[in-house]
Amino acid sequence: MPKPFPLEFRRDVVAVARKHEQPLSQVAKDFGISESCLHRWLQLADIDDGIKPGVTSVETAEIRELKKRNRVLEQENEILRRAAAFFARDALPK
């Protein structure tokens, strides 16, 4: 998978594309990206700027982190459950 472009580069490309001085295909060609990539960046920028409804990039990152934290907590909970069952088995009267 190719390395993602820096955020500053994306912002510059979107700013130039929003000026509407050149066709989008020419802007994409000038910056060395595909036209579909430029369209995607424009859509994401519109969502982040509140022009279109959707989940912003900040919210997406937060959701990703929360899902990761939830996964870790579930694993820790399962370990504690198994440990409690193990120790409870040894504590039973014979």
- Please check whether residues 1 and 45 belong to one and the same domain: yes
- Per-residue pLDDT tens over the stretch 36-53: 999 999 999 999 999 999
- Please check whether residues 4 and 45 belong to one and the same domain: yes
Contact by Cβ (8 Å): 38, 24: yes
Q: Mean of the pLDDT values across residues 77-86? A: 95
Q: Vertex 41, ends 36 and 42: CA angle to 5°?
A: 95
- Please check whether residues 50 and 80 belong to one and the same domain: no
Domain hosting 9: range is 1-54
- Please check whether residues 45 and 4 belong to one and the same domain: yes
Predicted pLDDT at 90: 77
Q: How many structural domains comprise the chain?
A: 2
Contact by Cβ (8 Å): 48, 57: yes
- Please check whether residues 62 and 47 belong to one and the same domain: no
Q: Mean of the pLDDT values across residues 60-87? A: 96
Please say if the pLDDT value at position 24 is more than 70. Answer: yes
- Please check whether residues 60 and 47 belong to one and the same domain: no
- Please check whether residues 72 and 46 belong to one and the same domain: no
